[in-house]
Amino acid sequence: MAAEAEEGGAIAARLERVIGKLQRRLEKSQRETAAVLADLSRCTREAEDAKLLQREIDHRAKNSLMLAASMLQLHASRSQNETVKEQLEGATRRLHTLATVHAALHQGAEGDEAPVGWWLDRICGGLPAAPQIALQVDAPEVCWPSGIVVPLGLLAGEAVANAIKHAFPNGRAGRVQVQLHRVGAGRWSLEIKDDGAGRVDNIREGLGLKLLRTFARQLHADLTLDPGFDDRGICVRATFDAPDKDDDLLL
């Protein structure tokens, strides 16, 4: 009996040591978990702070661009020189577009991506146009990285603004269409075409065309100028590589 009691005591002692060891491990694990949760909470707060800071920067940038555009518009209205007036109005329009880009990117982006159809509709639809000019935006609801979406929107906005300004003189009625569609695996085409009075062989090498080429380079796109609807007007076409996503929406 004494031997059995001694053996039982030894087993109980070993169990106590094992339980104590497990308890210490559990306490250590709990401390480590608490530390990880604290770091995660801190990172979350820092991420939220960074997001709020980015929103504030975007808001201030947009306001600064709008203020600069208003000042340019004021100078344009006072200028008696038609050439200077036209250049100031062009600069005003482009600043408005940049301000719209800041606002649209902040509202529509999710992480590092933005919805392309919504983006193009926001940029192009926000441009001032006469009521006799019909503007249509046709683009799939895919999300692309902002590195693609931003220059894509700027290119479309510049092409639409040029069409509105130059393609329909003397109150002429017409239409402008913005269309984005896939032309192959990972290959896309953005077309901005009108049925206005312009002709490809009459296009001047001005600031507008230089900007289109700049945005096309940012997209790594091939830029071409072709006739628009039924050989009337102009079609600005940019063909580029982009991710194939949400294929079920493109069928």
Per residue in 93-132, pLDDT tens?
Answer: 777 677 766 666 665 555 567 889 988 988 888 777 788 9
Cα angle 210-244-154, degrees, rounded to a multiple of 5: 25
Domain that holds residue 231: 113-251
Say if residue 225 is in the same domain as residue 239. yes
Say if residue 90 is in the same domain as residue 147. no
Say if residue 68 is in the same domain as residue 98. yes
2-11, 184-193, 201-210: which range is least confident on average? 2-11
Residues sharing a CB contact under 8 Å with residue 201, sequence separation 6 or more, in sequence order:
none
Predicted pLDDT at 249:
44
Say if residue 101 is in the same domain as residue 120. no
Predicted pLDDT at 247:
46
Please give the DSSP secondary-structure letter assigned to residue 158.
H
Question: What are 20-44's pLDDT values in tens digits?
Answer: 676 677 667 667 766 766 766 676 6
Listed residues 90, 108, 126: the one ending a domain? 108
Give the separation between CA 219 and CA 158, rounded to whole angstroms: 14
Domain count, the chain: 2
Listed residues 108, 142, 166: the one ending a domain? 108
The neighbouring-strand residues paired with 224 are 237
Say if residue 81 is in the same domain as residue 57. yes
Rg (CA), the chain: 30
Say if residue 40 is in the same domain as residue 121. no
* DSSP helix/strand/coil, 241: strand
Say if residue 95 is in the same domain as residue 7. yes
Predicted pLDDT at 165:
86
Residues sharing a CB contact under 8 Å with residue 190, sequence separation 6 or more, in sequence order:
152, 155, 156, 178, 179, 180, 221, 237, 238, 239, 240
Say if residue 120 is in the same domain as residue 136. yes
Say if residue 219 is in the same domain as residue 152. yes
What the block records as the tokens of 7 is 């053996």
Say if residue 119 is in the same domain as residue 168. yes
Listed residues 78, 108, 138: the one ending a domain? 108
Any alpha helices (H) in 109-219, and if so which ranges? 116-125, 146-166, 207-219
CATH number, domain of 134, equals 3.30.565.10
Say if residue 74 is in the same domain as residue 135. no
